Amino acid sequence: MNRILKRNIIDYIYVTIGSAVTALGIALFTNPAQIAPGGVSGIGTLLYHTFSIDVGLSIFVLSVPIFFIGMRLFGKIYGLKSLIGTVLLSAFTSLWGHIFGYGGILDYSKDMSYWLSCLYGGVLTGAGMGFVMKGGSNTGGTDIIALIIARWCHISPGTSLLIVDALIIAASAFVFSIESALYAIVVVYITTLVLDKIVLSMGTGYAKTVYIISDKLDEIGDFILNDLERSGTIISAKGLYTREDRPMLMTVIPNQSILRLTRAIHDFDESAFLIIQETHHVLGEGFTPMEKILAEQHNDVTLEQ
DSSP-assigned letter for residue 30 = I
Q: Which of 111, 100, 110 is nearest to 25 (CA)?
A: 100
pLDDT per residue as tens digits for the range 77-123: 556 777 888 899 999 999 999 999 889 999 999 989 999 999 999 99
pLDDT per residue as tens digits for the range 186-241: 998 898 888 777 765 444 445 788 999 998 899 999 988 887 778 889 998 888 88
Cβ pair 41, 126 in contact under 8 A: no
d(CA 192, CA 198): 10
Q: Decide: helix, strand or coil at residue 183.
A: helix
d(CA 29, CA 256): 27
Q: Taking the model in full, what pTM does it have?
A: 0.69
Q: Where are the domains of the chain?
A: 3-198, 207-279
Any idea which of 13-27, 49-63, 143-157, 231-245 has the lowest mean pLDDT?
Answer: 143-157
DSSP strand pairing (207-213 vs 233-235) = unpaired
Residue 152 has pLDDT above 60, yes or no: yes
CATH among 3.40.47.10, 1.10.260.40, 3.40.50.1460, 3.30.70.120 for 207-279: 3.30.70.120
The pLDDT > 70 percentage for the chain reads: 79
What strands lie across the sheet with 233-235, from one edge to the other? 233-235, 248-254, 207-213, 273-279
- In sequence order, the 6+-apart residues with CB closer than 8 A to the CB of 79 are none
7-21 burial: b if 16+ Cβ within 10 Å, else e: eeeebbebbbbbbbb
d(CA 89, CA 248): 41
